[in-house]
Amino acid sequence: MAPLVGLIMGSRSDWETLRHAAETLEALGIPYEVRVVSAHRTPDLMAEYAKTAEERGIQVIIAGAGGAAHLPGMTAAHTALPVLGVPVESRALKGLDSLLSIVQMPAGVPVGTLAIGKAGAVNAALLAASILGLKHPEILKRLKAYRKAQTEAVLAHPDPREE
């Protein structure tokens, strides 16, 4: 099936974080593509990717980057598709640099910013599922089942000392 989500990241080194988004999309049966697209190392590719995503059938873009993380914002500047930004934990500043770079978009071009690291990557995929669920009932159904299973897993093990 043609990809509905474009999962992009600034470097191969971001995969360790963004793979959690990929795994969550897979768990929800959402077709996606993965690309390394750097805002500063491959700026032309980034613009081309963002400008052509909609006509290729992509409906949501998840963009992860670390440090001076321009990728989500610059991608959003080139497309009206929803862009979800995942701040990757950086070595020097533990991802606070990534978070602030992504979240502090000036008014006019939004990026939906998630938490730093794995939690943000998983939640970006879940939020993409919510957005896609508005017009893909089968995705909404799988998202609801995922949430139900999560709730049941917590309720089934109320004692934290249990193995």
Number of residues that bind ligand RP5 (CB under 6 A): 10
| Cβ atoms 99, 113 nearer than 8 A | yes
How far apart are CB 84 and ligand RP5 at their closest, in Å? 15
Q: Under the criterion CB under 6 A, does residue 117 sit at the interface with ligand RP5?
A: no
How far apart are CB 151 and ligand RP5 at their closest, in Å? 33
**Site mask, ligand RP5, residues 74-113, x = CB under 6 A?**
--------------x-------------------------
How far apart are CB 17 and ligand RP5 at their closest, in Å? 8
Encoded tokens for 119:
């939690």
Q: Hey, what long-range contacts does 105-109 have (CB within 8 A, 24 or more apart)?
A: 105/73, 105/76, 109/73, 109/76, 109/77
Q: Under the criterion CB under 6 A, does residue 14 sit at the interface with ligand RP5?
A: yes
Q: Under the criterion CB under 6 A, does residue 67 sit at the interface with ligand RP5?
A: yes
User: Rounded to an integer, what distance in angstroms lies between the CA atom of residue 121 and that of residue 100?
Assistant: 16
Encoded tokens for 163:
């193995």
| Cβ atoms 76, 84 nearer than 8 A | no
Instruction: Mark the segment that binds ligand RP5 (CB under 6 A) among 9-17, 23-31, 104-112, 141-149.
Output: 9-17
Strand order in the sheet with 112-113: 32-36, 5-9, 60-66, 83-88, 112-113
Q: Under the criterion CB under 6 A, does residue 16 sit at the interface with ligand RP5?
A: no
Q: By the criterion CB under 6 A, which residues form the site for ligand RP5? A: 9-11, 13-14, 38, 65-67, 88
